[in-house]
């Protein structure tokens, strides 16, 4: 959240910039002060404080202060710290965990419930009409696609997952109206995934994409679930991105299960659990 305020700073009006700097200088105090004192300290009017909150993407001062309070009270640094070659094991432990937790909290504060609702509605509609749902990803994202297929098929949805570009294009070619395809990509610039997305959309399938904002794939999909994080693409194996994508899949799967209803989902899950008992040692 503080990263967002910092990023928006240059585009704000001069008076709103003063409010932004006040927030960045002491975010904890900003959450506790009434609008009169905030306006007085920033040397602006009370409406300017509210306009600042809306300019950075929140509904108003109350919404902004609530989200900011959650941010400053977590005790987790909200700046991504890269792992260095000379880091000790303890340093690596702290950096990896803090980066992941910070990314999760950032997503919690910035995620669009509207876009999630659109994705859930499309997936539930596909379930109700017996249509198929496909998951596409390559590399690390291919592993997430397999995890998504594993979570959703247990709910009774007709699902498949592909991480091979040729299979994705062939599978997208047989999709039709009412089907859904969920495409996962860290960069949003993988050619195979772009091709598959275009083909699926031309065939009338609903295309849901989990990827970075501003990427070509984000524009190509009908429903975009943004997965933004400060992790670079050039160092080590993606850690934060993979876990963030898995988190978004969990949010979707949980919400879809709730929308389908416990009377439908619970008997299936109970039956699976009973049938798996013989696979375990007592």
CATH number for the domain spanning 177: value is 3.40.50.10490
DSSP assignment, residue 158?
E
Per-residue pLDDT averaged across 168-194, rounded? 96
Alpha carbons within 13 A on the beta-carbon side of 191: 1
- Same domain, yes or no, for 121 and 146? yes
Q: How many Å apart are CA 173 and CA 259, to the nearest integer?
A: 29
pLDDT in tens, 39-67: 999 999 999 999 999 998 888 899 888 88
Nearest CA-CA partner of 119 in 264, 247, 244, 224:
224
- Is residue 188 scored above 80 in pLDDT? yes
Banded model confidence at residue 253, pLDDT cuts 50, 70, 90: very high
Greater pLDDT, 29 or 174:
174
Share of the chain above pLDDT 90, in %: 56
Give the model confidence (pLDDT) of 14-41 as tens digits.
Answer: 999 999 999 988 888 898 899 999 999 9
pLDDT higher than 70, residue 238: no
Query: Domain range spanning residue 163?
Result: 113-273
How many angstroms separate the CA atoms of 98 and 96, rounded? Answer: 6
Confidence bin at 72 (pLDDT 50/70/90) = low
- Looking at the structure, do residues 206 and 119 belong to the same domain, yes or no? yes
Is 229 within the bounds of a domain?
yes
| Mean pLDDT for the chain overall | 89
- Does residue 229 share a domain with residue 133? yes
The pLDDT value given to residue 80? 59
Considering the domain architecture, whether residues 247 and 258 belong to the same structural domain is answered as: yes
Nearest-Å Rg of the Cα atoms of the chain is 22
The whole-model pTM stands at 0.71
173 pLDDT higher than 90: yes
């Amino acid at each position: 959240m503080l990263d967002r305020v910092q990023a928006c700073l240059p585009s704000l009006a001069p008076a709103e910039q003063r409010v932004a700097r006040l927030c960045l200088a002491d975010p904890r105090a900003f959450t506790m002060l009434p609008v009169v004192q905030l306006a007085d300290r920033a040397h602006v009017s009370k409406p300017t404080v509210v306009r600042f909150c809306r300019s950075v993407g929140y509904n108003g001062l109350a919404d902004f202060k609530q989200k900011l309070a959650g941010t400053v009270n977590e005790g987790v640094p909200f700046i991504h710290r890269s792992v260095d070659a000379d880091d000790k094991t303890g340093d690596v432990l702290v950096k990896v965990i803090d980066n992941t937790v910070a990314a999760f909290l950032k997503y919690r504060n910035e995620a669009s419930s509207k876009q999630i609702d659109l994705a859930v509605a499309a997936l539930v509609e596909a379930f109700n009409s017996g249509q198929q749902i496909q998951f596409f990803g390559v590399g690390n994202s291919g592993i997430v696609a397999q995890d998504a297929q594993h979570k959703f098929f247990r709910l009774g949805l007709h699902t498949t997952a592909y991480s091979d570009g040729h299979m994705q294009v062939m599978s997208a070619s047989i999709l039709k109206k009412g089907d859904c395809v969920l495409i996962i990509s860290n960069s949003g610039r993988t050619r195979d995934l772009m091709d598959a997305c275009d083909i699926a959309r031309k065939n009338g399938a609903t295309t849901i994409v989990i990827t970075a904002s501003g990427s070509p794939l984000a524009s190509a999909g009908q429903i975009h679930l943004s997965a933004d994080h400060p992790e670079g693409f050039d160092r080590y194996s993606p850690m934060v991105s993979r876990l963030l994508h898995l988190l978004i899949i969990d949010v979707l799967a949980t919400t879809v299960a709730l929308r389908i209803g416990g009377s439908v989902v619970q008997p299936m899950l109970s039956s699976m659990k009973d049938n798996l008992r013989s696979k375990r040692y007592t």
